[in-house]
Structure 1
Amino acid sequence: MCGITGFYGLEDKSLIKKMADVIYHRGPDDEGYFIDNTISMANRRLSIIDVSGGKQPISNENDSIWIVSNNEIYNYIQLMEYLEKKGHKFKTVCDTEVILHSYEEWGEECVKKFNGMFAFAIWDSNKKQLFLGRDRFGKKPLYYTFKNGVFLFGSEIKSILQYGEVERKVNIKTLHDFLSFKHGPIDETIFEGILDLPPAHYMVVSKNKSSVKQYWDLFYEEKSYTENFCVMKLRQLLEDSVKIRLMSEVPLGVFLSGGIDSSTIVALVNKYSNSETNTFTVGFGNEREIDELSEARRTSEYYGTNHHELILDEDDYNYLPLLMWHQDQPTGDVTCLPLYRLSEMTKKYATVILTGTGGDEQFVGYDDFKIGLVNHRINKLPKKVRTSISKSINIIPGFERIKRGFTYVLDSDSYQDAILSVKSMFNEEEKQKLYSPETSKRLGNHNIKERYIKYFIFDNPLASMCYFQNKVGLPEDMLQVTDKMTMAKSLEARLPLLDYRMAEFSATIPSRLKIRNLNEKYIFKKTMAKILPREIIKRRKRFFRLPVETFFNKNLSDIANNILTESEIRKKKYFNEKEIERIIFNHKKGIRRSSYQLFNLLAFVTWHRVFIDSENVSKKPHKF
């Protein structure tokens, strides 16, 4: 696993060195460069496969085609054997060279052959063009921009920013989306003019033109499968998915929360690994409502793993500037902090980590799905009746979270609106109050609903909700945070539950087997019933999050008072200081929604200080 970067249309050896140096953390084991007139590519290597021989960049037999890649290709041995029979000569036994020869053999269609995670760039001197590709789900990031005839790309935006001609200007439309969903769209970034190559897309760049094409998608079409068939097929796919992700020449472990997804990974790793399994868990001390330390311990004891725990401290909020530097973009996903700290501890014992990320998207694990389904059914009632019920419920004191759930169900005119409302940290009315006149003017008539409603493309509401989660929230939130926070500590994260074969099969499983009587993950639980202890199968689902409203209650207020000052807000001209004062006040009152809104704002302002105002960031946590 690695970091890559490069440019086309410029000769500058010092620039490519700076672009590679700034992502040293992604590959501390080695560095390599390919420079030829106006094309320069660099690689920072984290050695996992063919540790001694897999140095990048790698060329083909006559040095006419070169590659830099950030990848793990799990079917590379089978592909290598096929390509050797076709006459291709390999210099190494690493999976990166398989991508290179696959490009020679199949051209642009090569991306369809790979099972794994990847973001790569191939320079084809015969065609005088760059070919870039990104994996199906977007597990590995790849950014790019065009500036004054120069094309630049990189695993992280900070590499691109080393080119002095690239402006550091906020994309207001992405900011608008970020305040709602904690992230931006799949093809743009918070930096105006810097773009994100979407998952399951490839790009071709030559001197006078460029094109971006999609090569894969999920298509939801239910088959008349029986429950027994689904259990059998799913178990087969699960076991193979975990088994192929155990290949490594360096120590390996599992992030364990105690829930069914990570427990499944532990059970299957324990079954197929020849060495002792290391597991790693993070907790929040007395936050028992969401803390899974005890459940993780019991799972570890059951499977006999070598277990490691980390307890976060309230002063860990001081990591926020460093987290934003690693993220490149502001993230309102508060799990970035525990994930970074957990990766920091894990690196002492392992270089590769398996996680349960993606299980909720494939097998309907979120409460959002339930809210959407209930809304779809209850919308048969007249609007006046729903409004009356909603008003009656909201009169009841307390129970804010439950009342908000009912509001989404009863007040939304469609399940699509309900899902977008559930996902929104700030709704449209709240953002209009939050914005300064300057921001509102720059935003214009940007319609966030139009940008995201296009993902609800299937007649089946559950299918559309799954598609939306896989196309938007998964790549732009969870996978970005997972990649950036693990790679910040030179740790490779593998995601068995996001094997594309399993996702394709899941898309054909009947809805009645995914969720039954609002019981989430029905078929997944059935599949694991003979593998996991009953206690794990029956455990109440807890979502991995940081309890901002209580854990950082005082500290979050202190940070806000320090960096969200009236003078600072007026200076940056994005927000209305009176509205921010109201949010801080509500946070102090213990209103959870306001606490997360405040974290969102702090993430943006901290990111702004790091990347736009260019404040230096210490590699260690420091006081604001």
Structure 2
Amino acid sequence: MCGIAGAFYYKKDLPVSKELIKRMSDEIIHRGPDDEGFYLKKNVGLAFRRLSIIDLNTGNQPIHNEDKSVWTVFNGEIYNYVELREDLRKQGHSFYTGADTEVIVHLYEEYGADFPLYLNGMYGIALWDEKKKALFLVRDRPGIKPLYYAETEAGLVFASEIKALLKGGVSRIPDHEAINRYLSYGYIPSPLTGFRAIRKLNAGHMLICSGKTCVEKEFWDLTDKSLSNEDISEDELTGILIDELKEVIDRQTRSDVPLGIFLSGGIDSSLVASVAAEKCNLKLNAFTIGFTEESYNELGNAKIVADRLGLPLHDYILSESEIFKEIEHIMSFLDEPLFDYSAIPVYFISKLARLSVKTVIGGEGGDELFGGYQTHYLHRITEWYRKIPKVMRNGLKATVNRLPESHNYLSLPYKLRRFTYGAGFPYDQAHYRWKVLFDADEKRKLLSDDFVQNISDLEPFHAMGK
């Protein structure tokens, strides 16, 4: 993990101060403790915090092209940089580092604003074209890497984290609509943030600032991908998935430092670990977290997988007292509210892994890609449930709501209450109801009248389809 920050005063011809850029950079030093770098020229400034993964000796940023007219800082990793470097050399470009970053400036020289289309990776990029006096901010296709920006009287400031923008003097006035969305979804969707003046760059988008304007442009959308109508068997699909995973892991584990894997014992991380060990022949250290609360504890499953694959397993049993001791420090990394409490064990397992490795792979995103959450397939039960006479369903719902509370992970009473609450709605709305934290009635009890008057809709179901 690295971090970037910067400013472009395109509205007023004012110099960007080194003190401002350094102050913003220092605020995200935890993202890149190994090194820092700066580019400042008149009304533009770029800053970089480095965690060294590839090209440990010459890969520090900012990186420039041959005549130093194009500069970039970026947070992330370009997985196909080896192949891109070879193609770009054939087109006459020369390289002065071994870092993946350098392909960005040369791709821009070749393809202009279309350069992200050639990148396979996760990234938040800031690229400055000195000749055109244009700044490009680019966020990767699924939005893995964060990138925030804010408009000021002088122009634009940007950073990998909100706290760097606040350190740069951006207004802290809260965004009521964003908080309303959080109370529904458990997170704040793009482009909103908890602050009215700050926005997230949307996934698969770029922000182009030149002249006196900034324009956001979409360069990729998942819905653009057509689905195959081929009749493929389950065995064939499994083979395709394994081959794809092998290719992805081979690319994403290019590194000049030791690698590890977060292994929960669940399907997703276990599959990644299996392909990495048996198909890619990687020697990985595995890391896992256990809990004293048995319903949350998957340590046993992780041990079974690690033993099966012959992976050294480093485990850590997380206690309640340790969480209370570290919770304020953990919260300092979250610049806006997030309901997903997995951030807590991720913090502790990351501390454990950092004792041995600098980078890890894992199974994040598997449930989203393959519909792994229970709410994704509840429609099958819902179709049957709606055939029950309404009077009986109402009685069942009342009975379920009287069941005693349980603090176990995804307890049966919790799931039954959620299901009966949402099952009476059309399926798309039912899925929202199964996931929602606070519905409109609960928000009216929670929020002040002044707050409610500052939001558009207490039930922002419509936003989920965007």
TM-score, length-scaled by structure 1:
0.69
- What SS is found at the alignment partner of 1:88? coil
The one-letter amino acid paired with 2:416 is K
Matching residue of 2:461: 449
Matching residue of 1:359: 366
- What SS is found at the alignment partner of 2:195? coil
- What SS is found at the alignment partner of 2:363? coil
The one-letter amino acid paired with 1:294 is G
Highest RCO, 1 vs 2 (Cα 8 Å, sep ≥ 6): 1
Q: Structure 1 395/62 Cα, relative in aligned 2: closer, same or farther at 3 Å? A: same
Matching residue of 2:420: 407
Residue pairs, 1:48-447, within 5 angstroms:
48-164=53-169, 166-219=170-223, 221-227=227-233, 228-271=235-278, 276-285=283-292, 287-315=293-321, 316-375=323-382, 377-378=383-384, 381=387, 385-386=389-390, 388-395=392-399, 397-398=402-403, 400-411=413-424, 413-445=425-457, 447=459
Q: Structure 1 277/11 Cα, relative in aligned 2: closer, same or farther at 3 Å? A: closer
Measure, in 1, the Cα distance between the counterparts of 2:164 and 2:135: 18
Q: Is the 8 A contact 2:285 2:313 kept in 1?
A: yes
- What SS is found at the alignment partner of 1:326? coil
Residue pairs, 1:5-24, within 5 angstroms:
5-9=5-9, 10-24=15-29
- What SS is found at the alignment partner of 1:443? coil
- What SS is found at the alignment partner of 1:249? coil
- What SS is found at the alignment partner of 2:340? coil
Measure, in 1, the Cα distance between the counterparts of 2:20 and 2:101: 25
Measure, in 2, the Cα distance between the counterparts of 1:445 and 1:258: 40
Deviation at 1:444, TM superposition (A): 4.8
Q: Is the 8 A contact 1:246 1:273 kept in 2?
A: no
Q: Is the 8 A contact 1:371 1:409 kept in 2?
A: no
Measure, in 1, the Cα distance between the counterparts of 2:330 and 2:390: 43
Q: CA RMSD in A?
A: 1.8
- What SS is found at the alignment partner of 1:118? strand
Q: Is the 8 A contact 2:276 2:282 kept in 1?
A: no
Q: Which has the higher helix share?
A: 1
Deviation at 1:51, TM superposition (A): 0.9
Matching residue of 2:409: none
Q: Is the 8 A contact 1:119 1:140 kept in 2?
A: yes
Measure, in 1, the Cα distance between the counterparts of 2:384 and 2:189: 30
Q: Is the 8 A contact 1:180 1:427 kept in 2?
A: yes
Matching residue of 1:557: none
Q: Structure 1 445/261 Cα, relative in aligned 2: closer, same or farther at 3 Å? A: closer
Deviation at 1:171, TM superposition (A): 0.6
The one-letter amino acid paired with 1:429 is D
Deviation at 1:374, TM superposition (A): 3.7
Q: Structure 1 380/330 Cα, relative in aligned 2: closer, same or farther at 3 Å? A: closer
Q: Is the 8 A contact 2:261 2:284 kept in 1?
A: yes
Deviation at 1:400, TM superposition (A): 2.4
Q: Is the 8 A contact 2:290 2:318 kept in 1?
A: yes
Deviation at 1:441, TM superposition (A): 2.3
Q: Structure 1 420/271 Cα, relative in aligned 2: closer, same or farther at 3 Å? A: same
TM-score, length-scaled by structure 2:
0.92
Q: Is the 8 A contact 1:118 1:135 kept in 2?
A: yes
Measure, in 2, the Cα distance between the counterparts of 1:306 and 1:244: 23
Deviation at 1:379, TM superposition (A): 8.3
The one-letter amino acid paired with 1:419 is H
Q: Residue deviations 1:183-218, cap 9 Å, x none?
A: 112111001110000111111012411111111122
Deviation at 1:419, TM superposition (A): 1.0
- What SS is found at the alignment partner of 1:281? strand
Measure, in 2, the Cα distance between the counterparts of 1:171 and 1:131: 26
- What SS is found at the alignment partner of 1:439? helix
Measure, in 1, the Cα distance between the counterparts of 2:270 and 2:338: 27
Matching residue of 2:49: 44
Measure, in 1, the Cα distance between the counterparts of 2:171 and 2:82: 43
Matching residue of 1:2: 2
The one-letter amino acid paired with 1:359 is G
Deviation at 1:446, TM superposition (A): 5.7
Q: Structure 1 410/450 Cα, relative in aligned 2: closer, same or farther at 3 Å? A: closer
The one-letter amino acid paired with 1:188 is L
Q: Is the 8 A contact 1:390 1:410 kept in 2?
A: no
The one-letter amino acid paired with 1:147 is T
Deviation at 1:222, TM superposition (A): 4.9
Q: Is the 8 A contact 1:7 1:39 kept in 2?
A: yes
May I ask how many residue pairs the two structures share in their alignment? 448
Q: Residue deviations 1:516-568, cap 9 Å, x none?
A: xxxxxxxxxxxxxxxxxxxxxxxxxxxxxxxxxxxxxxxxxxxxxxxxxxxxx
Deviation at 1:272, TM superposition (A): 5.1
Q: Structure 1 147/372 Cα, relative in aligned 2: closer, same or farther at 3 Å? A: farther
Q: Structure 1 33/282 Cα, relative in aligned 2: closer, same or farther at 3 Å? A: same
